[in-house]
Chains A and B, each alone.
Chain A
Amino acid sequence: DGGITQSPKYLFRKEGQNVTLSCEQNLNHDAMYWYRQDPGQGLRLIYYSQIVNDFQKGDIAEGYSVSREKKESFPLTVTSAQKNPTAFYLCASKDTGELFFGEGSRLTVL
């Protein structure tokens, strides 16, 4: 089935460690996005990519990094520079305006 696959679903990290969240899509979409969601809050844009080998910062890019080496993949690295990384992370791809979301990755910093 076509869709967005995020992994892992749950991740625990010690302070000071970098972690990478995976996002893969087989929808053949050019644009991909990473959002962060905190409890009871809306989604805030971290990074987005409109095409392979190109990406732009969103509203809260500090402490995060991404790459877009393949059309299907848009991994997000949460670095130790991110002050408050515990959150629910959502990846999405876009087709003619509509976003298709993965099921999310919940990161907890211990």
Chain B
Amino acid sequence: AQSVTQPDIHITVSEGASLELRCNYSYGATPYLFWYVQSPGQGLQLLLKYFSGDTLVQGIKGFEAEFKRSQSSFNLRKPSVHWSDAAEYFCAVGAYNQGGKLIFGQGTELSVKP
């Protein structure tokens, strides 16, 4: 069965520091991978997605993620965090033969210190 693990429930970084949010997935074939962001009181917004090709994908708001098949990981990174990046981040995996069904991780809450 597909599953997604986000090991860090809560991370705090200083503004201007770099960020890496971890995501590990379990899936038997090539996964379709996503990162979503949820600001307080808002719905989820897609940051980026990976299906095939270049394992380093660029997203909105200066985020990028790298797919590493050997580690079953899809970590999200940003070189310099802004206070407005404080939010909850969700990693998700989908299967090509299950329509639009996504399995989400538990989420990582990001706090940004001034």
A and B pair up = no
Chain B contacts to A: CB under 8 angstroms: none
Chain A contacts to B: CB under 8 angstroms: none
